[in-house]
Amino acid sequence: MDRKWYALQTKPRSEIVVSKQLENKDIEYFLPLIEKVRIWSDRKKKIKVPLFSGYVFVHATEKERIHAISETFGAVKYIFYENRPAVISDREIEIIKTAVSDPEKISIEDKKIKKGDMIYVTHGIFKGMKGIVNEFRGNYKLTVNLEEISFSFSIILNSNEVSLLVN
């Protein structure tokens, strides 16, 4: 069976509800969660929130992909790319899994890269991804784009892990 990764869009704040329904249907899914501190007037609390708000990744055959969305409360639609369901590569899913499991921040040394520059990641777990430097305060904070689902997330990298892309 040929299983592929698809991006299933959910209603706002329905990612966990959708993932539990997928689990009950015995369909493999991936919901990357990150820890955030929420502050209320009377307390602070660490909570887990989806890295990609409004998305659950589904690993399925074509039949399972259709079954995953049918009668699943909170599931809206699959993300399409070039008029067919967007397929997320196994490599990109692995990169996201690694990033979520090892969110270590790395400081950066001097390199002739500045805010707004387009870079290519040459080493490390994000190798092969492209991004734009969106912040520089002793560290490079990069926005990495996943074209297939039109989504971005930020990472901090060491200078020996990136190279400047020339137009």
Per-residue pLDDT tens digits for 29-45 = 999 987 777 777 777 78
- pLDDT for the residue numbered 126: 72
pLDDT score at 106: 29
CA angle 46, 51, 52 (to 5 degrees): 140
CA atoms within 13 A on the CB side of 127: 5
Predicted model pTM: 0.63
Q: Are residues 131 and 78 in the same domain?
A: no
- Residue 55 sits in a domain whose CATH number is 3.30.70.940
Same domain (yes/no): 16, 72: yes
147 with 94, same domain: the answer is no
What b/e readout covers 106-123, taking b as 16+ CB neighbours within 10 angstroms? eebeeeebeeebebebee
Whether residue 21 is found in the same domain as residue 83? yes
The rounded distance, in Å, linking the Cα atoms of 27 and 10 is: 16
> Considering 48, 67, 100, which residue would you say is the last residue of a domain?
100
- Quick one: pLDDT band at residue 19, thresholds 50, 70, 90? very high
**Residues 92 and 129 occupy one common structural domain:** no
